Structure 1
Amino acid sequence: MMFKLYGYQQKLIEETRKCLMNGSKSVLIVSPAGSGKSVVISEFARLTVNKGGQVLFFVHRKELIEQITNSFKKGGVDLKHCTIMTVGKVAHRLDKIPKPTLIICDESHHSLAKTYKKIYEYYSDVPRLGFTASPWRLSGKGLGDVYESMVEGPDVKWLIDNHYLAPYDYYSVKLIDDTALKRSSTGDYTNKSIDDAVGKVIYGDVIKTYKEKVNGQKAIVYAHSIEFSKKIAQEFNEAGISAEHADSKTPAKEREKIMSNFKTGKIKVLCNVDLVSEGYNVPDCSVVIMLRPTESLVLDIQQSMRCMRYKPNKKATIIDHVANYTRFGLPDTPRTWSLEGRDKKKSGGNNSIAIRTCPHCFAVISAAYSICPICGQEIGVENKELKVDKTVKVEKIGKNFHFKTDYEKVRYSQMKTEDATSFRDLQKIGKARGYKPGWSFYQAKVRGFVHQN
């Protein structure tokens, strides 16, 4: 039985095929979390196999392999003509696996890692598709080195308005009056106005807030450390709310049982540390509780929107006890994506929990780990403690919280004039800084980018 594609999913496929037919060898498909990327991936695989082709699919985590395999089966894909593996396994079997006619990579914001590039270089003559909800790297590097074209699906607001994602309420702490936050010339809030308000604190009473706002609903809790996640699970249980903690070191069978019990409703609250982020799907989970600050937009989107899978009459609730919304806005905040890079934000006193990419398996993890929770490799430690202030009350953050982030605009607003390599660069620098059009023309004339007769 094949999937029945929604109109926007069919449009994604058609636009991607046009890019390939027009000569692009690598296309990045951007579609929000919960929009059904696995369905689109399965359809690409089915179309390729039905034409006699061979598909190579890879992703960075083994938990996602089982999910895409099930999607392929449901989508009518002949698995005999598919190689489905983690990126690490593919990289070590390049001379053994069947040569593909199409490469598909999910969670492609990881694609700049060496292991991915090794695969791409080995199959340099094979067209490839990448999928991500957020083409954004903490390092600031763009994905233009590995993808020639980008196709974007509908944004989160459109998906909510058209009943493909659940609407949501967002609760957090109003550390400052969001109407009085100072904005920089790029449209973002200034680092200082955010840093003055947001520190290394978990604000509000987690259990009390759950009871007041979403009592009895299924919730996923994201904590910043294993110890704290276990502590929160214990507090929920002591309050008579069934909760379990699971992390990458939880024995596989026990973890599967915990996940199964959560899906069936035997457990109301699932506490974890970055385990339930990419690809985890529980449509009737209606609540996310965020207890880990992050500087990663990718992680914020993946975690905060985990409760927004659509079900009729469902209303999702996001309870943000660490004020991540002041860094990244709300789930349906307008975003402008680009394959180009952006300047990495200087730390400048930012007090959010540091995260980094494991050099062994490339998972995005907390810098507090000395051993990667995904692959078990030793990586050293950087520890930051969080305080807990239970006296603060969370409140609803209204949709009038305007926070537009244009990452290309940020990049050009920070680019030095002497680093421009074309008239187009100078025009974008001028536009980002609010200069008059004559400025870019004059600079281009001085630099020799334009000539007058």
Structure 2
Amino acid sequence: MLTVTDIDAVMAEIHYQRVDSNPMGYLYTHSNNKPVLVDINFELSDFPYVAYTSYQNELMFRYQGVYRFIARTRYEFLQQIDKFILNPPKIEDIQIRIYGGNRTEKHLEPTPPEFNFSRTFEEVFSSKSLHALHPEEKYVDVDGHLRYVDFMLHRQTSNVAIELNGERYHHPIAITRERYLSQLTKQNSLIYDGTPVYRWSDRGMRDDFKFKDQLLQFFGEPNDFKATPYFKGKRKVDFQLYEHQQQAVESIAKKRKLGQTAFLIELPTGTGKTEVFIEDYRLQLQQGNCYKALAVVPTINLREQLVKRVKAQLPCVKVSEALDDQCADLIVTTNAAIVRHYQQFPSTQFDYLLIDEAHHAVAHGLSRVLEHFTPKTLLGLTATTELLSPKKLESIFGNFTAELTLEEAVKRGLAPPIRVFRLESNIDFSKVRFNGKEFVKSDLNKTVQIPSRDSLIADLLAKYFSSDDPTKLAKQGIVFCVDVKHTQRMAKALQAVGISAKSVHGKDSSGIDEYFAGKVQFLCACQLLSEGWDAPQTSVVVMARPTMSKALYVQQLGRGTRLAENKEALYVIDIIDNYAGALLQPWNINALFGIPHYTPFADLGSYDNPVPQTEVTVLDGLYEQVRRLEQINLFNFEKEFGDLLSTEQVARECFVSTGTITAWLKKGDITPTRSVPFGRSQLHYFSDENVQSIKAKKNIKPRTEETRKQDFFEFLEKRDYTFSFKIIFLLAFLKCHQQNGEANSDDLASIYQNFYLKLHERHSKCEKDASPLNNLATLQDIKYIKNSIAKNPFEKFERKRFFYQSSELAITSVDPVLWSKLNKGDLESIREQMIKDGIDYFAKVGIALSADDFRF
């Protein structure tokens, strides 16, 4: 293993200087290049992964990118330096190879950590910003491996990569060196391309307060996000086998006149596929239909061949191999280059897009590229369809991304008509708690999992969509459930009425293949199928899981919004439970589209083209004798409260705790702009003007991230000590804190308790006479001590947002923004002030102490 002297010497040769250390290695900076974090200590078995990711995230934010290398042997270390700093490979020179699996192609939703991340992201930045968060983004690393990034946040400035890790699969100590090196190759490739990489573990995300602050700190303002709604549209693709070039060119021209834009041509090997492209491209130039064109080929050799042939046959065309060549008429590039860089171009950048060797489209990640661009002509050439069926190729070439809302996509015929049925249950939801963003899951589980509710759903599906009755609409569909147990109960309920159904979830997705084969009519799913799952035949979606999250509702709805053959419409079954007249109700399809009336199985909205009515007639004639029209209780959280701030958001704005805002509300010191009854409680919302008046009334001066350190020291300078608790709390924290500004709450409480126990032993008391800590039995009760810390010294720091606790993780931590601004000198200054203040305080109490008594 290399020593720090060895590493310093190597880094000095490339003009890097060591500036910091951490338990696993060292940080080096360079005046003109990204910093390097060198891992050396893999035997540190107690190294916490949360600390590992937090430290890296802070560096990512500070430097907007940090390379991370392994330094076990000199050769291995130099290899990494050479690959990313001295001689990185040209992207065009690499051959794309598959690395790892793609969950989207296995039809699985993101893992629970990914699901939790998207939910928290929505809470922090709003549901609109979710459009900027792309799951399972394909990426080609510097070795040519096709990888998958858990989330890519698309911003106007630069994108941000997000990786959500389980310690079992990602902790450097828990995995092999080879796997860790592979993980770093992916991360360092993103850094090389100018994309910072932030990592969180499931445990790190459970520290809710800190996690939300980190998202705000690292990702910037939502107005920098590329948050335009988008929808997958369908191109009509012509796929034909030709034996003669001229016949292929003429066919393309004929179909183009009929409005077609996408073409897949299969020509036998050696019959001149390239000539088809050159001739069709020449005609488009001649007719003035093409100003910018892009040709994508698998390899360098094919790129050189195509450039040579175009130059020879079309000498007036300026051909370039550089993606950033603004003067080129035709850019010829490789699969690897375009997969890495396609997002830097507008979707309308190219009038003509050629994909050579089209059968490689899936394996090389070109499906995302094809979805991104909307050229006037998309031409795919292949000599074989053995690797992919024509139908699969047509599906890949037929998809494109349109910047449309779902409502606009339906109206334009890019998604099927949506017909809704509201199934009303008498299940009482009035006592289900709501945390301001979503139902409390434990309450939801108890309430939703009722056999009678499951039976209502099963009976409805049997009545209208039973596959055994030819007079009914035998449609496949999904029932979205609360949790695994709910999926299992729901599947049994459907089976009991003769419907083939399977429970699918994160640990059992075996029913999905049967669904695609048509052997299962309904899937009952939870935390599965909401994202990254494409089954166009899905025609029924049952919302059996109430949600206040627009993002989750739209994701679930989206599983059925793909067009398919013989699919007249998507049928949405909204389960409407009893909310005791509450204004706030879960999302439903009418709320989503802003339609105040409900008509059973009626089309939502107006459409540009005539909508088929065959199935509606069947439903109406058989089972809807009277088509009722009723006013619904419309709930649209964004419309009603989109411009208002929740209690938690007001607390952040005022730099006080949520408990402080709640206390002010109870005392009547502040008045919310709107209060909404929900069950047995009320939800409060505030306008911007209201928040400003609260700040003025409470003398809250403007506080920003830049003033956080100054605010903290001003708070300490006040020396507001009713008891000594704040002094000892800070000293105990400084004694046991880790490098990332966190301390184990149990360790902190033990140090805190031992200080007062020693005082009591020496002086028969440890505080003012009014303090309960003077009672030895009370002082020896560690549970009491922990509660006392939370209610006394900690609460004073939390109110100002300087400290926070995670009871679930037993962590007490400094606010991350404040911690990033404190240096070693600041910490020593705090320690010295607390020691001096402690000596002065206890002298007034009649207990003489020296500085050594506080250096525990």
Normalization by structure 2: what TM-score? 0.27
Which is bigger in relative contact order (C-alpha 8 A, separation at least 6)?
A: 1
Normalization by structure 1: what TM-score? 0.47
Rg comparison, structure with higher value: 2
